[in-house]
Amino acid sequence: MITATYHKYILNFKQASGTSRGVLRTKETWFIILNENGKLGYGECGLFRGLSADDTPDYEEKLKWFCENINLGLEVLLFKAIRFPSIQFGLEQAFLSLKSENSFELFPSDFTKSKENIFINGLIWMGDKDFMKNQIKEKLSAGFTCIKMKIGAIDFETEINLLKSIRKEFSSKEIELRVDANGAFTSSNALEKLERLSELEMHSIEQPIKQGQWQEMASLCEKTPLPIALDEELIGVFSTEEKERCIETIKPQYIILKPSLVGGFKGSNEWIAIAKKHNADNWITSALESNVGLNAIAQYTHTLNNPLPQGLGTGSLFTNNFESPLEVLNGSLGYNNNKKWNFKL
């Protein structure tokens, strides 16, 4: 017999982090803890207020229901949680954790054995020019060869100049540049902006226009001089048929998967399979989870053997994150088995 409890936890940012949706100072997250005869299993439901499809007033009530009905089994629970992707992700982790010898080793591999690292991008948060420039310098000196810059909150000319300043020093062979617009462009000005960005030999741009404009996005993906990656576009698309229609209509060059927002490992696998059918590649990104969720995402990502830089460098953003073996070194995420977990709520 399995019993389940849930717990809310507020993560505090070390410094306010700017996105096109505003400035983040805290991040709410939830944990499911399973208990089977004293053996514990942990899962993080990475709810992202204002972004998650399951950001609903009855979220806690739903979580309570799933905990009370935990003995229905994972498959039934995942089906019932179809409109609550962060809960699906938390349940998947918790059941894997319960079955594993080590509660935090969900996918044993050369990654968890400290033998292989995952290549990741360095994330540049929005802010004024100096703040962004300093972050870029820090990431380059920390050994990152792929930089992802969030754009769309300050003046586009300033952002272009910042990107130009990187390109003056580093060619596209030395530093890969990705930009994330978080839907900040309009369908009328997006193509012109993409053309200007492409002159700087960018790798790709995430979500140039707001989600839900499938025809406009399809037109952009067809004409773009710069590969487009869908991100927010995948949020709130639940059925297999709807996912097929989304990718078939838009025909993006890439999709970006945040397991907390797209239904965990199962949801991510489904998107990857559909995208591959339509010649779209992918990478995985965390969505400001604590180290518990980040750990699960990283271990899953390693199983995919995807050589592209992944978006998993968010573990050091919080003052009250949980100590874990995860560490970022020379632009990659590793699992240092000399470090121990300290998960206390």
pLDDT at 127: 77
Q: Quick one: 91 and 140 in the same domain?
A: no
Q: Is residue 112 part of a domain?
A: no
Selecting among 62, 139, 148, 258, the annotated active-site residue is: 258
Q: Is residue 158 part of a domain?
A: yes
Q: Is residue 109 part of a domain?
A: no
Q: Quick one: 93 and 122 in the same domain?
A: no
Report the C-alpha gap between 120 and 325 in whole angstroms. 17
Domains in the chain, number: 2
Amino acid at 252: P
Distance from chain centroid for Cα 172: 24
Domain end: 39, 65, 99, which one?
99
Report the C-alpha gap between 18 and 132 in whole angstroms. 10
Q: Is residue 107 part of a domain?
A: no
State the pairing for strand pair 22-36/39-45: antiparallel
Selecting among 139, 150, 193, 243, the annotated active-site residue is: 150
Residue 118 near residue 301, CB atoms below 8 Å: yes
Q: Is residue 156 part of a domain?
A: yes
Domain CATH code at residue 12: 3.30.390.10
Q: What are 105's two structure tokens?
A: 């080793």
List strands edge to edge, sheet with 326-329. 118-119, 332-335, 326-329
pLDDT at 155: 86
Report the C-alpha gap between 301 and 298 in whole angstroms. 5
CA distances from 86 to 111, 149, 288 (A): 24, 25, 12
pLDDT tens for the chain, residues 1 to 345: 999 999 999 999 998 776 656 788 999 999 999 999 999 999 999 999 999 999 999 999 999 999 999 999 999 999 999 999 999 999 999 999 999 999 999 999 999 999 999 999 998 887 787 888 888 889 989 999 999 988 887 789 999 998 998 888 888 988 999 999 989 999 999 999 999 999 999 999 999 999 999 999 999 999 999 999 999 999 999 999 999 999 999 999 999 999 999 999 999 999 999 999 999 999 999 999 999 999 999 999 999 999 999 999 888 899 999 999 999 999 999 999 999 999 998
Q: Quick one: 95 and 122 in the same domain?
A: no
Q: Is residue 287 part of a domain?
A: yes
Q: Quick one: 178 and 325 in the same domain?
A: yes
- Expressed as residue numbers, the domain containing 94 is 2-99
Inter-helix orientation angle 214-223/240-250, to 10°: 40
pTM: 0.95
Q: Quick one: 216 and 245 in the same domain?
A: yes
Long-range contacts of 130-138, Cβ-Cβ distance < 8 Å, separation of 24 or more? 132/162, 133/162, 133/165, 136/162, 136/166
pLDDT at 19: 64
pLDDT at 104: 98
Asked if 277 is an active-site residue, the reply is no
Q: Quick one: 7 and 144 in the same domain?
A: no
Q: Quick one: 12 and 134 in the same domain?
A: no
Q: Is residue 171 part of a domain?
A: yes
Asked if 243 is an active-site residue, the reply is no
Q: Quick one: 205 and 270 in the same domain?
A: yes
pLDDT at 125: 81
